[in-house]
């Protein structure tokens, strides 16, 4: 007697997972880092912004001290665009290249985690305005969906396979 095996494969319900947005495409505004005060009409904070009455939001000063690697000189400056909920960090390119991929990932992840508490995205640049890494999140779901990307791969590589 011949039996027929019937296999029922349930249809998979595809969850609608919201994706993290693409990083902002605006170029780094290096000239803003040279100013002592933000221009009128711009809601900006830099590493040089100091308030005698309140803590600036987002507050990256403690994170910089806690996570700034390579002798504390990796971060040159940052600009927080409060209206756009974005932080552009400028790092020392020479010290950036001393970090392997995992070190860069850890650095961006640490600052991205702090920025996520304020619902900000992070972009990392060198002094020439070239984007090195990003940390972007979709804040609309109950739990943010974030994506970290290390753009530049020059420098030490901890993920390389030994040559034979």
> Is the CA virtual torsion 119, 113, 45, 126 positive or negative?
negative
What is the reported pLDDT for 121? 95
Phi and psi torsions of 90, nearest 5°: -115, 125
Under the banding of pLDDT at 50, 70 and 90, the label for residue 164 is: very low
- Percent composition of the chain: helix, strand, coil (DSSP 3-state, to 5): 20, 20, 60
What is the reported pLDDT for 3? 47
Residues 79-100 pLDDT 10s? 889 889 999 999 988 889 888 8
């Amino acid at each position: 007697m011949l039996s027929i095996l019937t296999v029922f494969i349930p249809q998979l319900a595809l969850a609608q997972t919201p994706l993290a947005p693409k990083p902002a495409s605006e170029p780094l505004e290096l000239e803003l880092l040279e100013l002592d005060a933000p221009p009128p009409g711009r809601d900006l904070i830099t590493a040089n912004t100091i308030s005698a009455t309140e803590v600036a939001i987002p507050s990256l000063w403690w994170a910089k001290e806690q996570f700034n690697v390579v002798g504390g000189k990796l971060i040159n400056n940052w600009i927080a665009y409060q209206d756009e909920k974005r932080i552009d960090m400028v790092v020392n390119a020479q010290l950036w290249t001393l970090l392997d991929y995992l070190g860069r990932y850890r650095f961006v992840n640490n600052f991205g985690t702090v920025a996520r508490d304020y619902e900000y995205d992070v972009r990392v640049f060198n002094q020439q305005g070239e984007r090195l890494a990003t940390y972007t999140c979709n804040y609309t779901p109950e739990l943010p969906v974030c994506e970290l990307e290390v753009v530049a791969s020059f420098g030490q590589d901890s993920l390389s396979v030994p040559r034979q």
